[in-house]
Every structure is written in C-alpha cells, then in structure tokens.
C-alpha cells in the first residue's frame, strides 16, 4: 500500500503530539504536515521534536491551505472553531478529514454535512473501541428498560479540558436517546443548580467533573426503583484515541464522500 500523506492539526497539543508520534511510527502513513493556529509559539518548530520523538523534518505551519493541497488525510484534534474551518478546506482538497475535536453545537452538523458532500469525514466524540462498544450497550439498555429508569451520565476529565459535557458524554447520551427513540436535544438536562424542581420523567442528565490528569472517565447510570445499573468506561491512556483515529483514516481512504462515525469504522452499526 502507498503510504497516505498525513497532516496532523493541533500538532503541539496533548492529542496532536501523540498523533504525530503514532503517524511517524505507522507503516501505512507518512507525516507530511503539522498545523497550529496563527501566532502559536510552535510555528516553525519540528513536529517530531515537539512530539518528543526524533526530528521529523516537518516544520509546524499556520498555513493549512498549502499543507492540505499536498495531503491525503487530515487528523484534527483541535477544537470547535478550528475544525469547522478545516472541514471547508478538507472539502476543497477532497481529502479524508478525521475529526476528534469536541464542543460542537447542534447547528454545526450542517457545516460538516455540507463538507462531506466533497470529502470523507469521520467524526466522533470518542475514537476508542471501548467507548463505541459501550454506546451500543447503552442503546440496548435504554431500549429494554423504558422511561421508568432515569438516565444520568457522569464524566470526569483533566483540569485543562475546556468543553462540557464531554463529546463522549454526548455520544453516550445520543445512544440512550436512540434506544428510547427520542431526540436528545428535547430531553437533555445539562447541569443542575439551585431550586431545580423534581427530575422530569424521561430526562437524560449530564454531570461534569474536572480535575488533575484524568484522561477520561464516563459512567451511564440507569436508576430505577430499588435497583441501579451502571455502564462505564475509563480511558487509561490517550493511545486508545490515536489508535482509533489512525484506523479511521485508513478505513475512510477508499470510501465515498460522506459523514461517518467510529461505529461505521468499527462495523458496529
Ligand atoms: N474524539 C476523541 O477520541 C478525543 C477528542 N479529544 C478532543 O480533542 C480536542 C483537543 O484535545 P487536547 O489535545 O487535549 O487539547 P489541546 O488544547 O492540548 O490541543 C489542541 C491544539 O489545537 C491547537 N489549535 C487551536 N486552534 C487551531 C487551529 N486553528 N489550527 C491548528 N491548531 C489549532 C491548540 O493551540 P492553542 O493551545 O494555541 O490554542 C492546541 O495546540 C478537544 O476538543 C478534545 O475534547 C481529545 C481526546 C480524544
Ligand atoms: O478532552 C479530552 O481530553 C477528551 N475529550 C473527548 C471528550 O470530550 O469526550 C474524549 C476523551 O474523553 C478525552
């Protein structure tokens, strides 16, 4: 197989550094570009050295247009606004865009749908095998148990995380809502404070904890009268996300333009 020419966006971030190292070590991928935002201290530095591996010969750039023109795949763990902008450039370049960023708003979906008419997008709030398996379990449990079981989703992440609820919590909330055949946006309760009143029947609640260096813990609680089911996942290393992202890039390369998720990549639908 010819190596896929791969660009990592957010190359000096926590995930970006792990991705640069993973791409450099992969037989079927070749690092051809690394992006950071304009004004970043990382611009001009070698992406390999920033990632803590040997020199990669790739200077981190703030010019996505020229970098993407020479690539097959963009792996993007940046943030909401960067990923929205990059999806339009990935569409112009007709490449694969793997989006791990989180913190999107419901209306962002239409931007990704439009871009995916021209390129292949794989987007997921969690790229790990484990979480995507757990989502299937949550969907089944929610469908089997019905609305007399209250669903609450608790997540904990490191102190640097900037969005809440996490993308994974929302992914698990979507799975629960699908199981109940309801629209998550109409039943979600995203945090409680003060005199909240009783819990509305059918609500799917979210609670976010932040602290320390926690990579990512998620627990879905289905609480009934006299019993409680807990379905959870704990990420112990960011390597589970990089592994998933690289797998998504390789899977998407020969697919038609479209908006895919990790369940497509893993054959879990
Ligand atoms: N789907 C999944 O499996 C996972 C998703 N994530 C998500 O990935 C995202 C990144 O997480 P993490 O690595 O921890 O965060 P970091 O803040 O460590 O990294 C993000 C990087 O992207 C950079 N960036 C911001 N804007 C741009 C831009 N326009 N072009 C290029 N780079 C840009 C940031 O620069 P600066 O700091 O200067 O703004 C930063 O270096 C988050 O949304 C997180 O929730 C994380 C892990 C797994
Ligand atoms: O910001 C993180 O770190 C993570 N973000 C993703 C999320 O929002 O769910 C995935 C993982 O939990 C780590």
The pLDDT tens digits for 61-97 are 999 999 999 999 999 999 999 999 999 999 999 999 9
In this structure, the residues whose C-beta lies within 6 A of any atom of ligand 1 are 9-10, 12-16, 35-37, 40, 77-79, 82, 100-103, 124-127, 167, 241
In this predicted complex, what is the ipTM? 0.99
CB atoms within 10 A of CB 59: 13
The verdict on the CB of residue 233 being under 6 Å from ligand 2 is no
Q: Which atom of ligand 1 is least distant from the CA of 16?
A: 13
Separation CA 211–CA 207 (nearest Å): 14
Is-catalytic flag, 157? yes
* Predicted pLDDT at 269: 84
* Predicted pLDDT at 208: 98
The pLDDT tens digits for 200-251 are 999 999 999 999 999 999 999 999 999 999 999 999 999 999 999 999 999 9
* Predicted pLDDT at 171: 98
Is 126 annotated to bind a ligand? Reply is yes
Q: Are the CB atoms for 151 and 179 separated by under 8 Å? A: no
**Residue % of the chain over a pLDDT of 70:** 100
Name the active-site residue from 97, 123, 157, 218. 157
Q: Give, in order, the Cα–Cα distances in Å from 224 to each of 49, 141, 144, 201, 260.
A: 52, 12, 13, 12, 34
The pLDDT tens digits for 149-194 are 999 999 999 999 999 999 999 999 999 999 999 999 999 999 999 9
Is-catalytic flag, 161? yes
Spacing, Cα 36 to ligand 1 middle (Å): 10
The pLDDT tens digits for 109-118 are 999 999 999 9
Whether the full predicted model's pTM is greater than 0.95, yes or no, is yes
* Predicted pLDDT at 146: 86
């Amino acid at each position: 197989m010819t190596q896929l020419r791969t660009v990592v966006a957010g190359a000096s971030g926590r995930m970006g550094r792990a991705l640069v190292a993973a791409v450099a070590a992969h037989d079927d991928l070749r690092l051809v570009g690394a992006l950071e935002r304009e004004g970043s201290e990382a611009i001009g530095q070698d992406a390999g050295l920033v990632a803590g591996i040997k020199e990669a010969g790739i200077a981190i750039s703030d010019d996505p247009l020229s970098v993407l023109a020479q690539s097959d795949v963009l792996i993007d763990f940046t943030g909401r606004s960067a990923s929205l902008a990059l999806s339009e450039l990935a569409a112009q370049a007709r490449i694969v865009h793997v989006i791990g960023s989180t913190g999107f708003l419901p209306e962002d979906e239409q931007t990704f749908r439009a871009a995916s008419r021209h390129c292949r997008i794989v987007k997921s709030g969690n790229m790990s095998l484990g979480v995507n398996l757990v989502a299937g379990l949550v969907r089944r449990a929610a469908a089997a148990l019905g609305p007399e079981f209250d669903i609450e989703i608790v997540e904990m992440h490191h102190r640097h995380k900037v969005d809440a609820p996490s993308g994974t919590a929302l992914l698990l909330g979507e799975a629960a809502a699908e199981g109940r055949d309801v629209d998550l946006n109409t039943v979600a309760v995203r945090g409680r404070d003060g005199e909240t009143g009783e819990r509305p029947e059918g609500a799917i609640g979210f609670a976010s904890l932040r602290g320390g260096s926690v990579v990512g813990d998620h627990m879905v609680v289905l609480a009934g009268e006299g019993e409680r089911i807990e379905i959870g996942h704990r990420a112990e290393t960011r390597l589970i996300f990089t592994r998933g992202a690289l797998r998504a890039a390789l899977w998407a390369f020969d697919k038609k333009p479209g908006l895919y998720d990790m369940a497509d990549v893993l054959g879990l639908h």
